[in-house]
Amino acid sequence: MVEEYKVITLCGSTRFKDEFLEAQKRLTLEGNIVISVGLFGHSGDNEVWENMDEGTLTKTKEMLDDMHKRKIDMADEIYVINVGGYIGESTKSEIEYAKATGKPVRYLEDERIQRIRYYEGLLREATTVLDNPDNKENIKRLVQCVSELSEYYGSQTWKEDFAADEAGELPPDLERGILSEDGIYNVLERYREMTYPTHTPHIRPILPDEIPLLKDFLYEAIFIPEGAEAPGRDIVEQPELRVYTDDFGSREGDHCLVAEQDGQVVGAVWSRIMDDYGHVDNDTPSLAISLYPEYRGRGIGTRLMTEMLALLKQQGYRRASLAVQRANRAVRMYERVGFRTVDENDEEYIMVCDI
């Protein structure tokens, strides 16, 4: 008898030895040829590393990683042992390689649910440390938690998980405070306040001699996708961008607030009624906002935007608009302060905030 059997390569952390062996047995009995790891370096085979010098150890691990990708080449699909939602860097690399070579990817545990449980755990852990910040070891862990939470919150994956929750696709008993914008945002804000307690910037109107800085901030406002090359700074001289800064302060509706810290202007938000990317009508000012890179992620942008909206309301405007790249994580901040999407294309959202 000659049969055609599906070939499956197992991927995952070798700390999950029992789960590897169980999956290998189960998938084999289901009629598959199963390719697994050659040794369990994190659970049972630790002695293989004991007598290796650092150079040999590094080369051996590189060899094993490369060998496992060759095993993926042999397979029809890969099966990820993601116990508790854990997927390490090596496994992430293997998943990316499998997807790039057209191999289907399956998981021991439902990927979305395990991911939400994982980040929910980080959220609880971060909250606990913020409530009890005295232990230095806990602070180190807090930094790690916040880094992962921030990356997840700004990702397309979070948006997809949020959409799945909104569509009722998640189990009703699944804890998912991580998908509440208030829940995760509050933790990130508490962390920023704890990290920068004495560096709260002063928000004030721009001074006349500071107006040339708007070209700097206009450049900083340009969204550069990950992996893309930044344009030259002379891009701000293009006609479609000069509308944001030319003769600023000379028109009705020109308003600008800056964030000043330690005597330096570190960010700006400004409004102008103009025919720009975010234009909706001739009665609605369009906004631009940016900070220097080293001052991002501290809540300064939220303060600038909130105070600008209050200023525009005081000036009698009923709403404000802006354009933002769909992939820009600032979309979340704009939504939090009240903006909603009124139009979109393949690259941008046009957003409006009623004030």
Three-state helix/strand/coil letters over the chain: CCCCCEEEEEEECCCCHHHHHHHHHHHHHCCEEEECCCCCCCCCCHHHHCCCCHHHHHHHHHHHHHHHHHHHHHCCEEEEECHHHCCCHHHHHHHHHHHHCCCCEEECCCHHHHHHHHHHHHHHHHHHHHHCCCCHHHHHHHHHHHHHHHHHHCCHHHHHHHHHHHCCCCCCCCCCHHHCHHHHHHHHHHHHHHHCCCCCCEEEECCHHHCCHHHHHHHHCCCCCCCCCCCCHHHHHCHHHHCCCCCCCCCCCCEEEEEEECCEEEEEEEEECCCCCCCCCCCCCEEEEEECHHHCCCCHHHHHHHHHHHHHHHCCCCEEEEEEECCCCHHHHHHHCCCEEEEECCCEEEEEEEC
Please provide the average confidence, as pLDDT, over all residues in the chain.
Answer: 88
- pLDDT tens by residue, 231-247: 999 999 999 999 999 99
Residue 289 has pLDDT above 80, yes or no: yes
The answer on pLDDT for 197 being more than 60 is no
Band (pLDDT 50/70/90 cuts) for residue 336 is confident
Distance between CA 192 and CA 150 in Å, rounded? Answer: 11
The predicted structure's pLDDT at residue 42 = 65
Alpha-carbon distances of 346 from 87, 221, 240, 335, 349, rounded to whole Å: 32, 19, 19, 19, 9
pLDDT in tens, 92-142: 999 999 999 999 999 888 878 888 988 999 999 998 888 887 766 678 788
For residues 334 and 353, give the distance between their C-alpha atoms in angstroms, rounded to a whole number: 9
pLDDT of residue 115: 86
Q: What local confidence, expressed as pLDDT, does residue 43 receive?
A: 60
Query: What is the C-alpha to C-alpha distance for residues 78 and 35, in angstroms, rounded to an integer?
Result: 9
- pLDDT value at position 255? 95
For 262, the token pair is 């330690």
- The first and second tokens of residue 160, run together, are 């997809």
SS3 1: coil
Question: Percentage of residues in the chain with pLDDT exceeding 90?
Answer: 49
Percent of the chain with pLDDT over 70: 94
**Region 79-96 average pLDDT:** 88
pTM of the full structure: 0.54
Please compute the mean of the pLDDT values over residues 157-165 and round it to a whole number.
Answer: 87
Of 3.60.20.10, 3.40.50.720, 3.40.630.30, 1.10.3720.10, the CATH number of 202-354 is: 3.40.630.30
- What pLDDT does residue 192 have? 73
Mean pLDDT of 252-260: 93
- Residue of 143 and 48 predicted with greater confidence: 143
Which CATH code fits 6-109? Answer: 3.40.50.450
How confident is the model over 190-218, as a mean pLDDT?
A: 83
Q: What is the pLDDT of residue 196?
A: 61
Q: Which amino acid is at 301?
A: G
Rounded CA separation 351/323 (Å): 6
For residue 231, the model assigns a pLDDT of 92
Above 60 in pLDDT, residue 198? no
Question: Can you give the residue ranges of every domain in the chain?
Answer: 6-109, 112-195, 202-354
Other residues' Cβ atoms within 10 Å of the Cβ of residue 292: 17
Residue 185 pLDDT more than 80? no
The answer on pLDDT for 311 being more than 60 is yes
Q: Find the distance separating the first CA and the last CA of the chain, reported in whole Å.
A: 75
Q: What is the pLDDT of residue 39?
A: 87
DSSP H or E segment with residue 323: strand 319-325
What is the four-CA torsion angle of 35, 36, 39, 44, rounded to 10 degrees? Answer: -150
Q: How would residue 44 be classed by pLDDT, with cut points 50, 70 and 90? A: low
* Average pLDDT, integer, range 71-80: 96
What pLDDT, on a 0 to 100 scale, did the predictor assign at position 74?
96
Q: Tell whether the model's pLDDT for residue 29 goes beyond 90.
A: yes
Using one digit for the tens of pLDDT, what is the confidence trace for 209-231?
899 999 999 999 999 887 789 99
Q: Which tokens sit at 10?
A: 């197992």
